[in-house]
Amino acid sequence: MTPGNLQAESFAAYPPQARALAIEHLNALKRMPLILLAALLRQVIQYDWSFPAEREQLVRQLNLLNQLDAASFDSLMSPFAAIPLTSELSKFDWVNHPQPFSEKLTAYLWEQHLSDNYHSVAQAYQQYLEKALPQSQPVTPRWTIVVIGRGSQQTQYSLFRHLMPHGMLFTKLDPSGALETLSAAVTSRAQQHPLEYGHWYIDGGEPYSVAAEDPRLTTMSYARLVPAAKREFALLKEFTSHGANGSVGVEAVGSYIVGLSPEDLTLKGTAADAPLRHFEVNLITQGAGCQIFSTTFVQWAARECLHRAQPLTLFARFSTRQGNAPMEQLLARDPLQQPQDAEGSLIDADMGAYYTWINQSRLPGADDSRFLVWFEDHNLACAIAPALSKGKTYTGAITMRQVLEHMA
């Protein structure tokens, strides 16, 4: 099938909302080069389980393409159309399986030394979209709070050295009641600015009950998802054992993993929280190391949350992770029942906090955003906010509530 042959019936296997979206914009889809169309269909087919921010971006892009005159549309699409494709790729069922098609396309572009060309074309297209469809500013400044070092003792490691040039370091923070203060601040923001998937709490262990029990927060934790991760490993082992001589091709394994559903991983929920269940599946199946190390899970979950949901509030709390071991052991054992590497976890979390700030900085309204990282149960924190001096150290006694007030 070619894009020009698309009909409403072509999307019969899509989820309801995705099918309706594709049919509504069918004329634009039919005129797109396959190499771009398949990438767009990867987003369309997931529409029912996408976050509001993702849906808005996709709909705005489709509306823009629909509104372009023929000459402008063809000019925008011509760089993609100039990249040759094989008949094998064209004959692939790219409508119903856009993700496997993209995997095959990536391999083909690499083999034919067309990857650089494709990335240049895709980057130019993305820049066009950013200029034509500027993202709206958040209704209130974004806040990200990261707590690291749970269960860790005082350390000689220089924490927050990557963040200090961008904010203020507090060296005599009173840790008593600090976690409660942060939790209250997060839940207060969720109450003041109610927004679907607009306020998140991500924990590397068992969630702090005060925050986790608030229905206005989207809550997820590593401890609660370990059974799903173990289920993924079991399914993958079973799948690969069915191949000739006990082996299965890399592409087949990748396609199988991408096709896993919340039900496959025993993740239960309601239709209302389907986006969260599918988000959890994506983390477990596509995040490298998320299944094994809790610190990697929090870092990757925070990254994907900021990128996809673009929340007004993110509260990410790191915990200790299991000690390292040969991969065979890591894949087979229960990570929650292993000796914990407190020192290594603290170093991981410190770098994870820095990466989280970088990802927040890429969102609309970044110049007015607030960021706070705290060494849990200790007197060290670093805050980044417009009102705070950069690269300065505050050595006076201070409470967490006062820090938040300075950031506001």
- Tens digits of residue pLDDT in 283-318: 999 888 999 999 999 999 999 999 999 999 999 999
Total count of domains within the chain: 2
Per-residue model confidence (pLDDT) at position 241: 80
Work out the pLDDT band at 321, boundaries 50, 70, 90.
very high
Give 118-129 pLDDT, tens digit per residue: 999 999 999 999
Please enumerate in sequence order all residues whose Cβ is within 8 A of that of 404, keeping only pairs 6 or more positions apart, or say none. Answer: 181, 182, 185, 372
- Final residue belonging to a domain, choices 69, 97, 132: 132
Per-residue model confidence (pLDDT) at position 331: 86
Instruction: Count each helix (H run) and each strand (E run) in the chain, helices first.
Output: 17, 12
- Final residue belonging to a domain, choices 79, 110, 132: 132
- The range of the structural domain enclosing residue 321 comes to 143-227+285-407
Query: How far apart are alpha carbons 220 and 111 in whole angstroms?
Result: 40
Whether 245 shows a pLDDT value over 60: the answer reads: no
- Final residue belonging to a domain, choices 104, 132, 160: 132
Give 84-134 pLDDT, tens digit per residue: 999 899 899 999 999 889 988 999 999 999 999 999 999 999 999 999 999
Report the pLDDT averaged over residues 352-359: 98
Q: 255 lies in a domain?
A: no
Work out the pLDDT band at 62, boundaries 50, 70, 90.
very high
Q: Identify whether residues 222 and 341 lie together within a single domain.
A: yes
Q: Which residues partner with 389 through β-bridges? A: none
Per-residue model confidence (pLDDT) at position 253: 80
Q: Which residues in 195-330 belong to E strands, given as ranges?
A: 199-203, 218-221, 313-317, 321-322
Q: Identify whether residues 188 and 110 lie together within a single domain.
A: no
Q: Which of 129-143, 320-334, 340-354 has the lowest mean pLDDT?
A: 320-334
Per-residue model confidence (pLDDT) at position 240: 83
Q: 275 lies in a domain?
A: no
Whether 51 shows a pLDDT value over 70: the answer reads: yes
More confident residue, 242 or 348: 348
Q: Identify whether residues 188 and 297 lie together within a single domain.
A: yes
* Entry pTM: 0.92
Whether 251 shows a pLDDT value over 80: the answer reads: no
| Inter-CA distances, 212 with 23, 315, 381, 397, 400, Å | 39, 11, 23, 30, 20
Q: 234 lies in a domain?
A: no
Give 141-192 pLDDT, tens digit per residue: 999 999 999 988 878 889 999 999 999 999 999 999 999 999 999 999 999 9
Per-residue model confidence (pLDDT) at position 213: 79
Q: 356 lies in a domain?
A: yes
Query: How far apart are alpha carbons 220 and 277 in whole angstroms?
Result: 10
Q: 220 lies in a domain?
A: yes
Q: 159 lies in a domain?
A: yes
Q: Which residues partner with 220 through β-bridges? A: 202
Q: Identify whether residues 204 and 292 lie together within a single domain.
A: yes
Per-residue model confidence (pLDDT) at position 259: 85
Q: 265 lies in a domain?
A: no
Q: Give the number of other Cβ atoms within 10 Å of residue 390's Cβ.
A: 10
Whether 26 shows a pLDDT value over 60: the answer reads: yes
Whether 405 shows a pLDDT value over 60: the answer reads: yes
Q: Identify whether residues 301 and 331 lie together within a single domain.
A: yes
Query: How far apart are alpha carbons 57 and 143 in whole angstroms?
Result: 22
Per-residue model confidence (pLDDT) at position 152: 85
Q: Identify whether residues 299 and 192 lie together within a single domain.
A: yes
Q: Identify whether residues 202 and 333 lie together within a single domain.
A: yes
Q: Identify whether residues 124 and 154 lie together within a single domain.
A: no
Determine how β-strand 370-375 pairs with β-strand 381-384: antiparallel
Work out the pLDDT band at 44, boundaries 50, 70, 90.
very high
Q: Identify whether residues 29 and 50 lie together within a single domain.
A: yes
Q: Identify whether residues 189 and 315 lie together within a single domain.
A: yes
Q: 262 lies in a domain?
A: no
Report the pLDDT averaged over residues 307-336: 93
Q: Identify whether residues 293 and 376 lie together within a single domain.
A: yes
Mean pLDDT taken over the chain: 93
Q: 169-183: string of b/e by CB count within 10 Å (b at 16+)?
A: bbeebebeebbebbb
Q: Identify whether residues 165 and 110 lie together within a single domain.
A: no
Give 179-219 pLDDT, tens digit per residue: 999 999 999 999 999 999 999 999 999 888 777 778 899 99
